[in-house]
Amino acid sequence: MIKGIGIDIIELERIKQSIKKSERLADRVLTKREKKRYLELPNERRKVEFLAGRFAAKEACAKALGTGIGALSFQHIEILNEASGAPKLQVSGHESDYFLLSISHSQEYAVAQVLIQEG
C-alpha cells in the first residue's frame, strides 16, 4: 500500500552559489558517508549536481512522510547507491517502510521523487 509521495525541484545555480560561499549547505544536508562521496567527485559540476540531487531527494522524502524538514532533519535521511548505481533511501525511524527514489538532473535543475510503501 502506498503511504506517501513527494517531489522536489531545485535550481542548480542556487546550489552552485551556496557552495561558492561556503561548505555550510553541504555539511547541513549531507551525512558523513554522503559527504565523503561528495568530496571524491572530480569537478564542481558533479558536486553541484550531487548536492542538488540529495537536497531535492531529502525534501521530497520529507514531503512524502508528511513532516517536512524540521520535524525530520536532513541528517535523518541518507541516500546511498546500490551496486547498479541506483539511489537507495534510508530514513532513521522509518526502517519498516520501503522507499522508492528517482533523481534526475538537467542543465539547470535537479528533481527528485519519492514514493513510500508499507514494509
pLDDT at 10: 98
Q: What is the mean pLDDT of residues 105-109?
A: 96
User: What span, in angstroms and rounded, lies between the C-alpha atoms of 62 and 72?
Assistant: 7
Residue 16's closest CA among 38, 53, 42, 49? 49
Domains of the chain: 2-118 (3.90.470.20)
pLDDT bucket at 67, cuts 50 / 70 / 90: confident
pLDDT tens-place string over residues 24-37: 999 999 999 999 99
Give the residue numbers annotated as catalytic, written as ranges: 63, 105
Q: Which amino acid is at 30?
A: L
Among 103, 52, 97, smallest CA distance to 72 is for: 97
Count of beta carbons in the 10 Å neighbourhood of residue 48: 22
pLDDT above 70 for 55: yes
The tens digit of pLDDT for each residue in 15-27 reads: 999 999 998 999 9
**How far, in Å, CA of 24 to CA of 26, rounded?**
5
Residue 119 DSSP SS3: coil
Q: How far apart (Å, rounded) are the C-alpha atoms in residues 37 and 29?
A: 13
